[in-house]
Structure 1
């Protein structure tokens, strides 16, 4: 009777181990997290998402969040500033009033608490959260639109200026050609003469005051001047 009792107990223990082993092997869980997340202080809130799927997992499901910061690490406890919102297949860690010190690694964990079997815990690879005071790249969609508009405006101004410049030049050239006695040689002479006249006018404008003026001859009527030749 004693031997039969020990055999029965051993068999029961073996069956229990096999059941637990098969339960562990049959439970499959997949946890997916974004590798990096950058948030500006102006955005105020950081949302770290975690997606998961599970199949044939017994026991109560529980979701954990862990943080590894520069100054501390451990499980995240919910508060007024840090909350966790979970739905079927998705959980979001929300950090309000973000600070630069919140930068760190955040890991999502899924646990199945078995009543009789071992506890199964699965974690993601973690999301590296970076809180920046100012963006490294100043090019935003709004800035891009403004740059494009400014470029188009500059091109439009250049086109309008070129159009009126060519139109005015053609009008002047047409007026010169319509003058009687116009020849190509005269046009070249006129153009050269205009250039020299402009240079001379600029020269006199700059150096007229510096050039000493000759004293004019003053004729005094009281002085007798003999203009006749003496014989």
Structure 2
């Protein structure tokens, strides 16, 4: 209904009743029940409700798809980095962090990605990173573990090596379940210095 007609009716009712009765919203709602009086532009209120419900349902479906599309590899990689730096501690970490991030860690990521790529989604979802790197001069950084079976898939280690006339190096490597953890898969070396390095976790 056009606004000037509505305004005219309000004024006329107010004038005829001397202002004792004012038109309420119920009058307009009753008037709008007649389909011929509805505006022809835009969807009806029923249609907009249906569209809102449809939009809400599609939002739920998108949320469900997002929950299903979890990047298990990224979760493992984040935990792997955290455990590596826990092992390095505050004495070793700051000194080797640049080389570790640029040379060693990308190779660790690659090894983890190759392992996850060969697994189905259910098995990939059950993978986790061990949380106890070895201290002192122990080699263990972390293991990638299948929680369903309790078995290790990959074991990441770092060995402290003293080379004559050169000094100390950290040799990063991993062992895989594919060969029963026999092969020594090299990730790279980082030079420390000629003096004895501190213990891990220190």
TM-score by length of 2: 0.24
If asked which structure has higher relative contact order (CA below 8 Å, sep 6+), I would say: 1
TM-score by length of 1: 0.22
Q: Which structure: greater helix fraction?
A: 2
- Higher fraction of strand: 1
